[in-house]
Amino acid sequence: MEIITKQSPQGCNNICPTPPPLPGPAMNCRRKGSATKGNSCASTATRDLWDNLFDRGYRADVTIRTNDGGIIYAHAGVLGMASPVLRDMLKQAKGVGHKRLISIHGVQHDAVRVFIRFLYSSCFEQEEMKELVLPLLVLSHAFVVPQLKRICEQQLENSLLTLDNVVDVFQLSLLCDAPRLVLLTHRMILRNIKAVSTTEGWIAMKRSHPALEKEILESMIYEEQMEKERIRKLNERKIYLQLYEAMEALVHICRDGCRTIGPCDKDLKDDQKPCTYEACKGIELLVRHFASCKLRAPGGCIHCKRMWQLLELHSRLCADSGSCRVPLCRNFKDKIKKQFKKDEMKWKILAKKILSTKRIGGEPFFLSSKSISSY
Residue-wise pLDDT for 254-278, tens only, equals: 877 776 676 655 666 655 666 777 7
Mean pLDDT, residues 1-17 taken together: 39
pLDDT of residue 25: 43
Distances in Å between the Cα of 335 and the Cα atoms of 196, 338, 340 are 61, 5, 10
Q: What pLDDT score does 48 carry?
A: 82
The model's pLDDT over 304-335, given as tens digits with 9 standing for 90+, comes to 888 888 888 888 888 777 778 888 888 887 77
Give the 3-state secondary structure of residue 122: coil
Whole-number average pLDDT of the chain: 80
Adjacent-strand bridge partners of 75: none
371 pLDDT more than 60? no
Q: Which residue has the higher pLDDT, 160 or 93?
A: 160
Given this model, what pLDDT does residue 267 score? 61
Tell which wins on pLDDT, 154 or 17: 154
Distance CA 26, CA 136 (A): 14
Residue 29 has pLDDT above 60, yes or no: no
Segment 138-147 shows an average pLDDT of: 95
d(CA 173, CA 151): 14
Greatest mean pLDDT among 18-27, 47-56, 213-222 lies in 213-222
**pLDDT attached to residue 370:** 55
- The partner residues of 26 in beta bridges, in order of sequence, read none
Q: What pLDDT sits at residue 20?
A: 47
Provide the H-helix boundaries in the chain.
44-56, 76-82, 84-92, 109-121, 126-142, 146-155, 166-175, 179-191, 193-196, 200-208, 210-255, 280-292, 302-317, 329-337, 341-357, 369-372
Distance from CA of residue 126 to its chain's centroid?
28
Query: By percentage, how much of the chain surpasses pLDDT 70?
Result: 77
What whole-number distance in Å separates Cα of residue 242 and Cα of residue 368? 18
Confidence of residue 16 (pLDDT cuts 50, 70, 90): very low
Instruction: Give, as one character, the DSSP assignment of residue 260.
Output: T
pLDDT of 72 reads 93
Higher model confidence: residue 30 or residue 176?
Answer: 176
- For residues 321 and 230, the model is more confident at 230
Q: What local confidence, expressed as pLDDT, does residue 273 receive?
A: 67
Find all residues with CB under 8 Å of 251, minimum gap 6, and list them. Answer: 314, 325, 326, 365
Beta bridge partners of 71: 65
Beta bridge partners of 64: 72, 102
Ranges 91-100, 192-201, 331-340, most confident: 192-201
Position 298 confidence tier, pLDDT thresholds 50, 70, 90:
low
Identify the band that residue 252 occupies on the pLDDT scale cut at 50, 70 and 90. Answer: confident
Residue 3 amino acid letter: I
- In eight-state DSSP terms, residue 159 is I
- Of 10-24, 221-235, 252-266, the range with the lowest mean pLDDT is 10-24
Kindly report, residue by residue over 85-128, the tens digit of the pLDDT: 999 999 888 766 668 899 999 999 999 999 999 999 888 899 99
pLDDT for the residue numbered 2: 36
Segment of 50-59, 350-359, 361-370 carrying the highest mean pLDDT: 50-59
Model pTM above 0.75: no
